[in-house]
Amino acid sequence: MKPAKSYILNIKPYVPGKPIGEVKRELKLTSVIKLASNENPYPVSPKVRAAIVKAASQVTRYPDGGCFILRSALAKFLKVQENQLIFGNGSDEVIVLAVKAFVGEGDEVIIAKPSFLIYEIASRIAGAKIHDVPLKNFCYDLPAMKAKLSKRTKLVFIGNPDNPSGKFINTKEAEDFMKAVSPDTLVFFDEAYFEYVNAKDYPDTLKLMKKYPNLMVTRTFSKMYGLAGLRIGYGIASPEIIDILNRLREPFNVNSLAQAAAVAALADQPYYRRLAKDIEAQRRYLYSSLKDLGFKYEDSFTNFILIQVANASQVAAGLLKKGVIIRDMTGWGLPDYIRVSIGTASENKKFIKSLEEL
């Protein structure tokens, strides 16, 4: 059996961070903390947990393929129309749908490097020609990205804030970029970490979308809302773009417990506001501890920090032995950086202590 396209055999699957259970098994450790996948380190909101338990009796039935209740709640919350929303099995599914919809074989896609790996994997699967544009001081090099725009450019990915840099392009930069892009090119703002950003010049892309209908945004319940395990994210775009994506979507792509949990999470804003403040405080703690230890790091607007080390693979292996899982950035082309997700106060202390011991 040969695949339809020979390039499929060249696609390297995404390598996820190791689950805690697997690390415990492998290293025979009893206490392991995971600061590798930018997860929310706090317990599930009690209201969300109650919604999951309540919905557990309904799993024999197919989910609502239209996400009726969640759609209505989210449209109100975001002040958009219901037909401007599409839900995905994680926002990565919405990324894949957008590529499938708008990028054909040989079409061009512009991606910053390094950035979230799924942009590249999804584009490769579509057979796209990828223009990688290196970051400049860990920020998007927008002039260089503009220089790559052509008639064949079908999609530009902007992780905002981006992963692994933790930085964002601001309102003026976003607007200037949209002006330079053809209305036939989709500009895809991945705002997975949106809820963690506390900055006045962060762009209001939903407002910008009214002026530029070729702008699309994704957000997720996996990060601040802590529903990574349940897989639910969403896209916001013009009704025309959403209609096209819906034709490619599997009818029951979002499970019913994810829908119930997301509705409960949206309604529990006070819990998440406290949590985002805690993460901010913990980020300051990590900054000052890293400074004390003499480490250079990148200022971040998210729940993770890129930290410069002598040899990322060695540091990652050393921390792993101490039961601390972080992300070695070697595979992303940054052999002297690790990416550390911000954990709870005690997790962060353990990380700093382990780093000091190394």
Residues within window 180-219 making contact with its own copies, judged by CB under 8 A: 183-184, 186, 213-214
- Which is nearer to its own copies, 114 or 298 (by Cβ)? 114
Q: What is the 3-state secondary structure (H, E, C) of 152-202?
A: CEEEEEEECCCCCCCCCCCHHHHHHHHHHCCCCCEEEEECCCHHHCCCCCC
User: Is 251 a binder of its own copies (CB under 8 A)?
Assistant: yes
User: Is 37 a binder of its own copies (CB under 8 A)?
Assistant: yes
Contact pick of 23, 32, 33, 44 for its own copies (by CB under 8 A)? 44
Distance CA 356, CA 354 (A): 5
Q: Which of residues 50-69 bind its own copies (CB under 8 A)?
A: 52-53, 55-66, 68
User: Is 253 a binder of its own copies (CB under 8 A)?
Assistant: yes
Q: Which contacts qualify for 267-273: CB closer than 8 Å, 24 or more apart? A: 267/47, 267/73, 268/45, 268/47, 268/48, 271/45, 271/47, 272/45, 272/195, 272/224, 272/225
Contact pick of 32, 33, 34, 350 for its own copies (by CB under 8 A)? 34
Contact pick of 26, 201, 240, 299 for its own copies (by CB under 8 A)? 240
User: Is 125 a binder of its own copies (CB under 8 A)?
Assistant: yes
- Residue of 84, 306, 328 lying closest to 217 (CA atoms): 84
* CA 125 vs CA 13, 99, 148, 300, 303: distances in Å: 11, 9, 21, 31, 30
HSE, CB side, 13 Å, CA atoms: give it for residue 147.
Answer: 9
User: Is 298 a binder of its own copies (CB under 8 A)?
Assistant: no
To its own copies, the closest distance from the beta carbon of 314 in angstroms equals 25
- Which is nearer to its own copies, 89 or 354 (by Cβ)? 89
User: Is 324 a binder of its own copies (CB under 8 A)?
Assistant: no
Binding piece for its own copies, criterion CB under 8 A, among 78-86, 230-238, 285-293, 349-357: 230-238
Contact pick of 70, 85, 89, 338 for its own copies (by CB under 8 A)? 89
User: Is 263 a binder of its own copies (CB under 8 A)?
Assistant: no
Site of tokens 């703690």: 285
Q: Which of residues 93-122 bind its own copies (CB under 8 A)?
A: 93, 96, 100-104, 107, 118
Q: Which two tokens stand for residue 227?
A: 């529903």
CA–chain centroid gap for 79, Å, is: 22
User: Is 11 a binder of its own copies (CB under 8 A)?
Assistant: yes
